[in-house]
Structure 1
Amino acid sequence: MAGWFSFLHGEATAGDVLALHRVEDVLRRAGIGHDVVWSPGFRPDAPHLDDVRPAAYTHLVFVCGPLHGPQIEDLHRRFAHCVRIAVGTSVIDPGGPAVTGFHRVLARDGAPGTVPGPDLAARAPGLPALPVAGLILTHGQHEYGPRRRHEQVAGALTGWLAGRDCARLELDTRLDAHDWRLCATPAQLESVLTRLDLVVTDRLHGLVLALRAGVPALAVDPVAGGAKVTAQAHACGWPALVPAERLDAARLERWWHWCLTDGRRAAAETRERFRGAGAAAPPDAADGLLAALEGRVAA
């Protein structure tokens, strides 16, 4: 079985791979053995087109995507002896060689005289629910001079997260009324944060805004010796803090697990404490503002 996910210069989309899973499920239930070829750029350790012997197969099934271009035409030449079937595909040019090279085209759309059908991804087997992690990093804060470890921290966090089976969402606390990729108001950002399972951050406000939303934060202080992230974690009574000098996978794993278990309750309790009124709320600098103003006026 092949698809656009098989070509070195193709691409693997979530929809394409789910469509493949749907077809695999059908073949598996029917007891039909099959192999899948992948792009070496996407799955280096899987079988690739250059690795397989066309003579070893009786059928070629092409899954999902548009039927056009030289890469599909080359499949017809390489597997000329095979029965070639396209399934769940879009037909761009019914008379083009990429289309006519197939013995059978079970199209999702574009085939003359046929009604469009649902994409194969719609009925793919169910998937497990995975943690959704927001990543909030800063690459600035040059005021800390030689104590900065921001590049090392960002590299370690992104490399570590890339290896975790989770959904990752890169976020920024910076607001912009003109850039659609950024939130324009705090309410917009908070609406995103409340939908996450945890936040991984090296920013003070990444930590505080996550806790304000009731979401556990795995915080890393990117300044050697500790600076405002450490101070804020202590002020909020938040334990999931890793110093830049002690940043390693083992500590990240431990706090990741804690954030997704006990940390959920701790974050919810922190949020309620932030929302408390009067004596129930933790004091902050604004509580002393009126006294400071009155003192200055009196002076």
Structure 2
Amino acid sequence: MRVLLTGWASFLHGEATAGDVLGLRAAGAALAAAGIDHDVAWSPAFRPGTLHLGAAPPGDYTHVVFACGPVHGPQLRELHERYSACRRIAVGVSVPDPDDAAVTGFHRILPRDDATTSAPDLSLSAATSPAPVLGVVLAPRQPEYGTAGRHDEVHDALTGWLAGLDCARVSLDSRLAHEDWQRCATPDQFVTTLSRMDVVVTTRLHGLVLGLKAGVPVVAVDPISGGGKVTVQGHVLGWPVVSASGAGDRALLDDRLAWCLSPRGRARAVTGVPGPESTLAGLVGELVGSR
């Protein structure tokens, strides 16, 4: 017996959701625990360099297992045609239309839900590992800096670095809105959100300032060539800031992130930074003196 384990994340034009990939992981772990030889097929668009369906000859397998997700559509029907000589089993799937050829092509279905059956989702039994949570706050273009602004270049380098990290990335926007559910309506909500992050990665002045206000270490990158307000604020607060020219230095970014995730980095953020009391006192003094 040799099994080819498949799912929606196996198709070139499929979709790799966290739940479906965990379903594949759970099914693979069950097969491994039972001593059943198996391979997992991945979409080359999702995991290049791994086994994909085009490189998994039907003659190499006795069984095809399709794990998690809805059973429908032409891609599943093509899977049945390609592996017609294999016994085909679906597990942990939803069956919206029992008469669909994508459904009837299976020899056996162990459903997650159909007209008569309901069962817990496969992802519940899959092992997962914790990953650091990075809140990402990127600045829009800032025309006041003219040609010194390198936002596109800096953000391309920074997001390319982020995409290669083993971390949970949360895109955050410091702009507030009362009618847009994707944004915070108050600064209190935004600072609370930042406080739930392990690290903040930002090219915005207030990403740096409010991250530290929330007690969270910050990987701050200044998108202005020669240094702008992020660099100045970092100097005032005693917090390191990566220059625009350093945004493409992944070793430097890795080093800054590692320090932020370390006990030392967390402790440094939690101890707080200088406040603007003298500036506020100056404002009050100016107003009082002008009476």
> What amino acid sits opposite 2:289 in the alignment?
G
Tell me if 1:80 matches 2:84.
yes
- For 1:245 and 1:97, the matched residues in 2 are separated by 56
Q: What SS does structure 1 have at the residue aligned with 2:15?
A: coil
- For 1:183 and 1:284, the matched residues in 2 are separated by 30
**1:50 corresponds to:** 54
- For 1:135 and 1:31, the matched residues in 2 are separated by 43
**1:196 corresponds to:** 197
- For 1:101 and 1:245, the matched residues in 2 are separated by 56
Task: Render the CA deviation track for 1:93-147: whole Å, top value 9, x for unaligned.
Answer: 22222111111110011154x3x1100001112x221110011111221111121
> What amino acid sits opposite 1:122 in the alignment?
L
**2:23 corresponds to:** 19
Does the CA contact (< 8 Å) of 1:198 and 1:218 recur in 2?
Answer: yes
Q: Matches of residues 141-156 of structure 1 in structure 2 within 5 Å?
A: 141-156=142-157
The Cα of 1:181 is off from its aligned counterpart by 1.0
**2:260 corresponds to:** 259
- For 1:195 and 1:109, the matched residues in 2 are separated by 35
- For 1:109 and 1:102, the matched residues in 2 are separated by 16
- For 2:172 and 2:87, the matched residues in 1 are separated by 48
Q: Matches of residues 51-130 of structure 1 in structure 2 within 5 Å?
A: 51-112=55-116, 114=117, 116-125=118-127, 127-130=128-131
**2:289 corresponds to:** 295
Gaps of 5+ in 2: none
Q: What SS does structure 1 have at the residue aligned with 2:124?
A: helix
Task: Render the CA deviation track for 1:231-278: whole Å, top value 9, x for unaligned.
Answer: 11111121x3111123311211111111111110000001xx56xxxx
Instruction: Tell me the TM-score normalized by structure 1.
Output: 0.92
**CA-atom RMSD in angstroms:** 1.3
Across the two proteins, how many residue pairs are aligned to each other?
Answer: 285
**1:278 corresponds to:** none
- For 1:144 and 1:213, the matched residues in 2 are separated by 28
Task: Render the CA deviation track for 1:11-66: whole Å, top value 9, x for unaligned.
Answer: 01100010111111111011111111111211121111111110111001111111
Q: What SS does structure 1 have at the residue aligned with 2:65?
A: strand
The Cα of 1:295 is off from its aligned counterpart by 2.3
Task: Render the CA deviation track for 1:45-92: whole Å, top value 9, x for unaligned.
Answer: 111111111011100111111111121111111111111111001111
Does the CA contact (< 8 Å) of 2:141 and 2:149 recur in 1?
Answer: no
- For 1:85 and 1:29, the matched residues in 2 are separated by 18
Q: What SS does structure 2 have at the residue aligned with 1:88?
A: strand
**2:280 corresponds to:** 286
Q: Matches of residues 230-245 of structure 1 in structure 2 within 5 Å?
A: 230-238=231-239, 240-245=240-245
- For 2:35 and 2:115, the matched residues in 1 are separated by 29
Aligned CA distance change for structure 1 residues 241 and 136 (closer, same or farther; 3 Å): same
- For 1:124 and 1:140, the matched residues in 2 are separated by 42
Tell me if 1:176 matches 2:173.
no
**1:220 corresponds to:** 221
- For 2:266 and 2:69, the matched residues in 1 are separated by 41
> What amino acid sits opposite 1:117 in the alignment?
A
- For 2:8 and 2:215, the matched residues in 1 are separated by 41
**1:139 corresponds to:** 140
- For 2:37 and 2:269, the matched residues in 1 are separated by 49
Q: What SS does structure 2 have at the residue aligned with 1:50?
A: helix
